[in-house]
Amino acid sequence: MATTVKELKATARPKSGKGAARAERRAGRVPGVIYGNNQPPVTISIEDRELRQRILAGRFLTTLVDIDLDGKKHRVIPRDYHLDPVKDFPIHVDFMRLGEGATIRISVPLHVVKAETSPGVKRGGTVNIVAHAIELECGAENIPQFIEVDVGSLEIGHSLHLSDVKLPTGVKTLAREDATLVTIVPPSGYAEEQKAAAAAAAGGAPGAAAAPAAGAAAPAAALAAAAKAPAGGDKKK
């Protein structure tokens, strides 16, 4: 599977520190850094508008990027970014430099499919996504954009685990194979309905329970009558 590579232009940022970073932001640029691959870190800045669009487009942290820095390209992957806590715009971004044939660890989102055909959903159940992403290890050129989870055969109360999912070739998981990914949660009142159905299948157990109590009264009355009969017979003699 070929990994999509985006391009992004950057400018070298010779100065580091909070003062220099604030100056970049005032100029409409976002400070950042490129690090890794046994090379010294490089401080850069990126146009605020372009970076914001990339982040809002989604999958920013799982997309390879060729950063054009003064005519030289650096193959990187975004590793982290920080947003202003009030205005929610990017204030810093980190990129990890990738060498040829590099292997990386990455968190990939789950995509649940065929929920509408699930027998559990048709009976009123709800798809509960337990894990929204999976930690994977793969080659930098072979990053899956997402992992697909098919719940089309799940009944109420059933689950899909990581061992049930087929990963792309060359991709392995860092999580436990028995990790639960998705379950079908029963609707409200489902437990009571199941108990009522079980009682009906047993042939009306509540009515059967009442019969022994009524039957128990008859032998008691017969014993009392038998106890009186001999006494009356002796008087006649």
Task: Tell me what pLDDT residue 154 has.
Answer: 96
What confidence tens digit (pLDDT) does each residue in 44-54 have?
999 999 999 99
The predicted model gives 60-68 an average pLDDT of 94
Lowest-confidence region among 88-102, 164-178, 193-207, 221-235: 221-235
Q: Which residue has the higher pLDDT, 41 or 201?
A: 41
Task: Tell me what pLDDT residue 220 has.
Answer: 45
- Tokens for 112, please give them: 């649940």
All domains in the chain, ordered by first residue: 5-98 (2.40.240.10), 105-191 (2.170.120.20)
Indicate whether 189 pLDDT > 60.
yes
The predicted model gives 94-110 an average pLDDT of 93
The predicted model gives 149-164 an average pLDDT of 95
Mean pLDDT of all residues in the chain? 85
Task: Tell me what pLDDT residue 90 has.
Answer: 95
Give the burial string for 84-121 (b: 16+ CB within 10 Å, else e).
Answer: eeeeeebbbbbbbbbeeeeebebebebebeebeebebb
Task: Tell me what pLDDT residue 5 has.
Answer: 86
Indicate whether 232 pLDDT > 70.
no
Q: How many CB atoms lie within 10 A of CB 51?
A: 22
Q: Indicate the pLDDT class of residue 204, thresholds 50, 70 and 90.
A: low
CA quadruple 186, 187, 192, 194: dihedral, nearest 10:
-50
Indicate whether 222 pLDDT > 70.
no
Task: Tell me what pLDDT residue 207 has.
Answer: 46
DSSP three-state, residue 133: strand
Indicate whether 179 pLDDT > 70.
yes
Q: Which residue has the higher pLDDT, 233 or 158?
A: 158
Return phi, psi of residue 7, to 5°: -110, 145
- How close are the terminal C-alpha atoms of the chain, in Å? 110
The predicted model gives 116-132 an average pLDDT of 95
Indicate whether 58 pLDDT > 70.
yes
Q: What's the predicted TM-score (pTM) here?
A: 0.71
The predicted model gives 191-218 an average pLDDT of 61
Task: Tell me what pLDDT residue 3 has.
Answer: 66
Indicate whether 177 pLDDT > 70.
yes
